[in-house]
Amino acid sequence: MLDLLIATHNRGKVREYAYILGGLPLRLLSLAEAGVTQVAEESGQTYAENASLKAKAYAHASGLMTLADDSGLEVDALDGEPGVRAARYAGEDAGDRERVRYLLSRLEGVPWERRTARFVCVIALATPECSLQLFDGACGGLIALTPRGDKGFGYDPVFYLPHLGKHMAELSLEEKTKVSHRGSAGAKVRIALEQMLKESA
């Protein structure tokens, strides 16, 4: 059984990765469970840079193989904002509801057909020996006029998926994993881990 550190304090993310990587001989640990208290710097200008910084820092601090991601929401009518600043868009201390409210206020008056957006995710997988692999995924949709659903986190309540006729926060974990940016990148990580585990067996 291989220990894999999931470099986040976000319980929703840990739950999603537990589902994505379910069935593999892995023991997933959150930062708290691994006793890691340091805060990794997220000073990169891209998702890949931030994910890499976190993965390498936490792999070094914990001595464990580490999975870290950076994700964001890119809204076309806002010239790609909030992008890598998605978690800090409404201020450093803002919660999910405040971020959603702020995003909707920025889009006030923008017609439906111009509310196109995408979620983007880059996952970095790092070993304590400084080996690093990157995996990406994306998911397109529209920013809804009002939030709906209580199953997701972040901007999920206002991210509408036209082909499903649902908001991201209305999807079950199984449904979300099939279509989300994190599910898409995570599927690639799963393949890499399966190969790694096979080689070490």
Contact 7, 30 (CB under 8 A): no
- The total of other beta-carbon atoms located within 10 Å of residue 89's CB is 20
Q: Could you confirm whether 150 is annotated as catalytic?
A: no
3-state DSSP call for residue 10? coil
Out of 3, 69, 70, 150, pick the active-site residue: 70
Query: Residue 160's Cα: distance from chain center in Å?
Result: 17
CB 171 within 8 A of CB 151: yes
In the block, tokens 């509408």 appear at 160
- For residue 46, CA distances in Å to 20, 21, 42, 70, 74 come to 24, 25, 10, 9, 12
Q: What's phi and psi for 60, nearest 5 deg?
A: -70, -40
Task: List the catalytic residues.
Answer: 70
